[in-house]
Amino acid sequence: MRLDRFLSGQTAFSRRELTERIRSGAVTCNGTVIRKPDAAVNPGTDAVTLLGKPIVYSEFHWFLLHKPEGVITAARDPKQKTVLDLLRPEDRLPRLAPVGRLDKDTAGMLLITDDGVTAHQMISPKHHVAKYYLAALRDPFRQDYISAFRSGMLLREGGSEEQCLPAECMQIGERLAVLELHEGRYHQVRRMFAAAGNHVENLLRVQIGQLRLPPDLPKNDYLPIFNKDVESALKNSDISEVCAFCAQDYSSYWIKTGI
């Protein structure tokens, strides 16, 4: 692999900036200064440093972000703050993009990656990867929501009504519910509860597959995740286990965060 290509996938520098740094002698390979951008390196065996910092090669990069309300799920936007703007400059790697969408007014777990194939598998309805949400409702939870959501609710899409995939729903408090979805329609959770005659006051995505939003991860913050974590996000959980997790760690979420 070319040295400049190796570095471009592991740092936030542009190709031009990397070329300048390589030619200035800021890069070493196995202890030897390398000044040619097209020099060959072996990602699996060669020890590369940039400005004295070891550069560890990874084919793909994954971040788990605790997205706050008011930030849009996009890679870039000329007017609004995006989830990639929350990353530190050194983590804004090429080709990073959010996995799926989380509405602007919804907080919680959002994955960001440059692994497009796995990201597509995670968000495609045909793969049935579950996303779990904690909803704070205006009115008390009703037991008939369970059968209504499970049967596949009709939501208006454009000029017609379309049926949602079956969704699981469980109550964990008088006005708190956990939902399991296998698709990601626009404002889907809010629209489903509205169709059932209720209103979602606050919404938090707490889990994807078996990968949970860490209770100690503050809003606006994020952490890198690795292969084992990504694999767990592709394996579905039992909604009762998610309910227990939410009841223990997130039932007072909006009180703690001042909402």
So which residues are the catalytic ones?
A: 103
State whether residue 34 is helix, strand or coil.
coil
Cβ–Cβ contacts within 10 Å for residue 87, how many?
17
Could you tell me if 189 and 199 are in contact, meaning their C-beta atoms sit under 8 angstroms apart?
A: no
Q: Cα(52)–Cα(48) distance, rounded to whole angstroms? A: 9
Place of tokens 């009709």: 154
Q: Which residues contact 3 (CB under 8 A, 6 or more apart)?
A: 22, 27, 29, 34, 36, 37, 38, 39, 40, 41, 48
